[in-house]
Amino acid sequence: MTDFPSYFLDFLKENEIEMKEYSYKEIPRYFRLKKPDVESLLSIDYQPVDWFEEFYQTSSNTNIASLEVYKAGLLYGLDVTSGIAARALDVEPDDHILDICCAPGSKLCYLADLLGENGTGTVTGVDISKERLYTCKSLIQKYKLGRARVFLADGTTFNVPAPTRVGSKVLHSELKKRKNPEDESTEVKPNKELKKQRLAQSLKPFHATRLIRNDPQIKGYLYDKVIVDAECTHDGSIAHMQKYFDNGWQGFQEQFLNPERLTGLQTLQRSLLQNGYNLLKKNGILVYSTCSFSPKQNEDILNWFLQENKDADCVQIAGSERYPVAPLKMREGYDDRIKNCLRFSPTASRTSGLFIAKIRKL
């Protein structure tokens, strides 16, 4: 695979990306099952991923969408590295999760499954692409998620608070008992009185499941967990780039490496990460990820973020000692906690590239 266009080779050199990462034209196709007991329904050759439970791998040529178990809503096509990013949130049943840059939605569906069926936790997704949100909506419906909503909005300015109601259940005791936290005596009916505490202008969901469709959007309620799978150059997404490997590079520069787009990309990534952090509760967890190999979009972004947010701690991801990871791109002067981040790559893990950072708000 040496027949790369000159502008792509220039990008690799400028961003310290090794050519060997593109020596694997074909990497396994990964998937997970909605329920373990449907494994017997698989009609393909597959094997479990031995370093990350719940995930399986099969040939890169397998057409997942043609499988009956997929059509029945019992199988997700999801790269194992995306599963690790989602699991790094340490999801609990009553967590309210925000997924910034959520489309096309397989990761959002996994987060909903991690919540389980018995808690009051919810998943809120936001994406700026209407076309991709239609895909997300179809997955929410296909997999019959119970407490999920998605918004068509800019992730850098999105400010819809975490839900305060699931179905008829008001989740926070202070909303049940009083008009405001300082008024200890007044009993109120949430449906009438809480209108005064809502956002000045509510944002209608692009799609929401019944239980959280009519959440009142009350100001001040933050999310327990946030994941920012930031917009990037996608140079590490081998599966995504496959069509360019096979069919030529026409359109690749315009879509991913447009100079005008690259100029503001790091600013966009910083803004997405900062806004996600602003919407996170104290002691909450945020995961930042990209599918780029470029340290400018990963380690550099984290180093800037830790300098700007003194109450942020970049912490170790549970289970990371088992993962076949690539070396981090550590520069002189970096915050030492960046060593807790993870890099996956085709040469190290036989996956697409993914950078993952786990941040706790102190």
CATH number at residue 120: 3.40.50.150
Q: Are 98 and 124 in contact (CB under 8 A)?
A: yes
Q: Are 24 and 239 in contact (CB under 8 A)?
A: no
| Percent above pLDDT 70 for the chain | 93
In a domain, 44, yes or no: no
Strand partners, 135: none
Q: Binding residue per annotation — 109?
A: no
Q: Is 314 a catalytic residue?
A: no
Q: Reduced to 3 states, what is the DSSP secondary structure of residue 59?
A: coil
C-alpha span between 296 and 11 (Å, rounded): 12
What per-residue confidence (pLDDT) applies to 250? 78
Q: Are residues 315 and 291 in the same domain?
A: yes
Q: Are residues 146 and 256 in the same domain?
A: yes
Q: CA separation (Å) from 360 to 18, 288, 306, 312, 337?
A: 31, 11, 11, 6, 12
Q: Are residues 189 and 335 in the same domain?
A: no
Q: Binding residue per annotation — 127?
A: yes
In a domain, 135, yes or no: yes
Q: What is the mean pLDDT of residues 160-183?
A: 78
Question: Residue 218 — very low, low, confident or very high, per pLDDT cuts 50/70/90?
Answer: very high
Q: Are residues 192 and 280 in the same domain?
A: no
Q: CA separation (Å) from 328 to 92, 205, 313?
A: 29, 38, 18
- Cis peptide preceding 181, ω within 30 of 0: no
pLDDT tens digits, one per residue of 7-48: 889 999 999 999 889 887 678 999 999 888 888 899 999 999
Q: Are 52 and 83 in contact (CB under 8 A)?
A: yes
Q: Are residues 237 and 287 in the same domain?
A: yes
* DSSP state letter for 65: G
What length is written for the chain? 362
Q: Are residues 153 and 191 in the same domain?
A: no
In a domain, 174, yes or no: yes
Q: Are residues 301 and 174 in the same domain?
A: no
CA-nearest of 323, 228, 342 to 285 is: 228
In a domain, 3, yes or no: no
What per-residue confidence (pLDDT) applies to 360? 98
Q: Are residues 302 and 180 in the same domain?
A: no
C-alpha span between 297 and 244 (Å, rounded): 22
* DSSP state letter for 331: -
Question: Residue 3 — very low, low, confident or very high, per pLDDT cuts 50/70/90?
Answer: confident
Catalytic hit among 109, 136, 291, 341: 291
Q: Are residues 277 and 344 in the same domain?
A: yes
Asked whether the predicted pLDDT for residue 196 surpasses 80, the reply is: no
C-alpha span between 196 and 61 (Å, rounded): 56
Q: Binding residue per annotation — 224?
A: no
In a domain, 103, yes or no: yes
- The alpha carbons of the chain give a radius of gyration, in whole angstroms, of 21
C-alpha span between 231 and 15 (Å, rounded): 17
Q: What is the pTM of this model?
A: 0.92
Q: Considering 204, 233, 255, which residue would you say is the last residue of a domain?
A: 204
What per-residue confidence (pLDDT) applies to 264? 93
Q: Are residues 151 and 243 in the same domain?
A: yes
Q: Which residue do the tokens 């809503």 mark? A: 73
Q: Binding residue per annotation — 271?
A: no
Cα dihedral: 205, 92, 355, 300 (round 10): 80
In a domain, 324, yes or no: yes
What per-residue confidence (pLDDT) applies to 1? 47
What per-residue confidence (pLDDT) applies to 355? 98
What per-residue confidence (pLDDT) applies to 179? 46
CA-nearest of 221, 211, 217, 229 to 104 is: 229
For the beta carbon of residue 48, count every other beta carbon within 10 angstroms.
Answer: 12
Q: Binding residue per annotation — 104?
A: yes
In a domain, 87, yes or no: yes
Question: Residue 185 — very low, low, confident or very high, per pLDDT cuts 50/70/90?
Answer: very low
Which range of residues forms the domain containing residue 169?
165-204
Q: Binding residue per annotation — 314?
A: no
